Amino acid sequence: MEIKPRFTSLFNGKDLKGWIGDPIFWKAGNGIIVGRATKQLDRNLFLWTENEYSNFIFYSEVRLIGHNSGIQFRSIVDKDGHMAGYQADIGDGCWGALYEELIRGHLVNFKPELIKQILHVNEWNEYMIIAIMIT
């Protein structure tokens, strides 16, 4: 993936240096990060950066085949790797929704009439999160 001008890559394209997560489920290489489970999980699994960020624009290309996933942000992680906070949803019946993991649930619901016009099913899609705290 080409880095957008004035953006800083959080991923070096080779390995998970700078990231925390269970290596059984998270792999990196050939310019991509892959999360994969081969059986039903009893809880959500997360991959997160070692650094924290305040105001930011997060840009990624994502591809999901089966089930659902998401991009957590403004979240906290406990000692067992459970995460609570905002999640930009990815997956069948939830693309583009905003979910608050372990707190309030869905804050912005899936809008199929909007998503079906832009979603490339089982292909790569661009995803951007703009997170700015206004005080």
Task: Report the 10 Å Cβ neighbour count for 90.
Answer: 20
For residue 74, tell me if it sits in a domain.
yes
For residue 7, tell me if it sits in a domain.
no
For residue 13, tell me if it sits in a domain.
no
Q: Could you tell me which residue, 8 or 49, shows the higher pLDDT?
A: 49
- pLDDT per position as a tens digit, 50-107: 998 888 999 999 998 877 889 999 999 988 888 999 999 998 888 999 999 888 878 9
Contact 66, 6 (CB under 8 A): no
CATH number at residue 50: 2.60.120.560
List, in order, residues 6 or more apart from 61 with CB less than 8 Å away: 1, 124, 125, 126, 127
Contact 63, 123 (CB under 8 A): yes
For residue 9, tell me if it sits in a domain.
no
List, in order, residues 6 or more apart from 81 with CB less than 8 Å away: 21, 22, 45, 46
